Structure 1
């Protein structure tokens, strides 16, 4: 087996999955801790009511299962749900039934989507939103006419957001207007550089702003192997996210003109996250799709990594790249994104963009 395939095989439980490998039936995860939202890393927790009255839809591309020991299938979603509810938000989760990593902005063009409520939540997360009007309801969306089962195909991240905003939220929760904010994540692994276009986490956020709803995509780094995603990374990122959203809300800077992408470094080794940096999407590659011939007409799909072979396109040419801030400097990376990919397009709302940049650079939580 080549080095590319060896590293690929090790990464299939990581941030970028090319195909769902099946879903474990609902069960208590056993690796979640109970208690109130913690900020992680010694940072202060968000104010208890700093997000009071804010209606928040949460989706992701990792599913809402949270059953794998690697924490790669939705654990970050439950930490984000916990932190937002602790800050007073009214939260509903409508997320893919199975892992949909790498789906980008893909949508399903036919068939029937079923949004099935999850009643038995992962251990330790059951009562996080008990006092909120929607009680933090969690729905998984499968491509099936009838109940979702262990082998049911899944809706994509963009599917879940479009379904929610085009009638699903009203039908399932009674919300008579769009949410104030859509959050995507927290993803198992960062979404930076060239892989941003493949990211289902980002795709869900883009689907939201396409519907006129402000959106933020959150992604957290894994450990050095990128096969395990420490809970403390999710928890610190979630606490940062709640404070970050509260600051944007206080300043009137929740805008649907563009989405924000927030990538959080690995703090599980004890090194705290550096202050947030305003960044651009890098042009270099961190990982990419790799294809190895295994038969006359067959090619195994895997991930290529920088350093596997000479000539890998790893060099970053963007001075303020998200990947450099995250990996080289250990900083929280905040990047504005839009669905308009027109080269040289003018920013429709430059004043708001500049205000958010100033907030990130000067007033946002430092970690």
Structure 2
């Protein structure tokens, strides 16, 4: 495409981004073609919370359906291939033997059945289990990275006809933030890293949830999904979708009516916001539990990195946007510093507001 044509397309798409419905919109009424800034974009959507969306706490995949709705409303063609069971904490784990089976979900959660009905692929939702035959209620699950590699290395071509796609991998919306030391454990982030390893741009989304730490209100998922669609549309309009690094986006809790603050460009913190504990419950047995930071003055686990994702999100209430790569060496090394700076400038100055 010639530069003048590319600039014209970006300008037209960006204008559409500005009119994209915000997080409160949940309509399934078709938008005019010019108001659908993700038209023609093929998206693989996965998570680490499964595709079940059955728990009252909304911790097992409801965010995936809110994200699917928002992306389709913006014009994207979305195919879901997600873990069969909850796989939270699996990081970049992969399965080394056996077989993976896709099971298409025919009855989607109430209220989400017609969200993507008009897409070219029909936007199927698949769960991926570790089995040589049909997935059953107790079948073990594929990991988040398994789902991405399976999709990119054959399943999307077989099931959706995308022999040269997708254009983007989106992961989430995770039930809970993925910040600081938790990033290494995150299957949501691990799946995004698997995509960029395969040369496909990727964005990972997580939301904080309410003060209880165990409930994840629909309002948080919906706000995150609305921002996600507008962010992806803006990155696309400015030719900033890249496979050089993934973007990790964490959205604050807005379920009590508070507003999220504008996106802040952050780094992965070094603290531990949530950690595993192991309490003896027998001579050779230890129960797994959790410890939490509370951001009180003098709290020993408060983050010390100045631009940390956890500080921006949990203390200051900002949307946190963090570039992440599979290179986990100390310090910063980038072969594409210009693009990294362009993405940062867009996020901080020109990107969507909450």
Same fold (TM over 0.5): yes
| Deviation string, structure 1 residues 321-366 (Cα, Å, up to 9, x no partner) | 1111111111100000000112245211100000000001101111
Q: Please give the secondary structure, in 2, of the residue aligned with 1:291.
A: strand
Choose which of 160, 179, 193 in structure 1 pairs with 2:147. Answer: 160
- SS of 2:226's partner is helix
Q: Is the 8 A contact 1:285 1:313 kept in 2?
A: no
Deviation at 1:39, TM superposition (A): 2.6
Counterpart of 2:288 in structure 1 is 301
Structural RMSD (CA): 1.9
Pairing 1:2-151 to 2, within 5 Å after superposition = 39-40=22-23, 48-151=35-138
Task: Give the superposition deviation at 1:110.
Answer: 0.4
Give the structure-2-normalised TM-score. 0.89
- Offset at 1:38? 6.1
State the 4+ residue runs in structure 1 displaced beyond 4 angstroms. Answer: none
1:277 lines up with 2:260 in the alignment = no
Task: Give CA deviations for 1:246-265 in whole Å, capped at 9, x if unaligned.
Answer: 11001100000000000000
Whether contact under 8 Å (1:39, 1:238) holds in the other structure is no
The question of 1:252 aligning with 2:239 is answered yes
Counterpart among 219, 226, 230 of residue 232 in structure 1: 219
- 1:361 matched to 2:348? The reply is yes
Q: CA deviation digits over 1:198-236, x for unaligned, max 9?
A: 000000000000100000000001110011100011111
Separation in structure 1 between the aligned mates of residue 24 and residue 259 of structure 2, nearest angstrom:
6
Can you give the 5+ residue segments of structure 2 that lack an aligned partner in the other structure? Answer: 1-19
In structure 1, the gaps of 5 or more residues are 1-36
Matched, 1:206 2:197: no
What is the aligned counterpart of 2:309 among 310, 316, 322?
322
* Alignment coverage as a number of residue pairs: 328
- Asked if 1 retains the 8 angstrom alpha-carbon contact of 2:270 and 2:303, the reply is yes
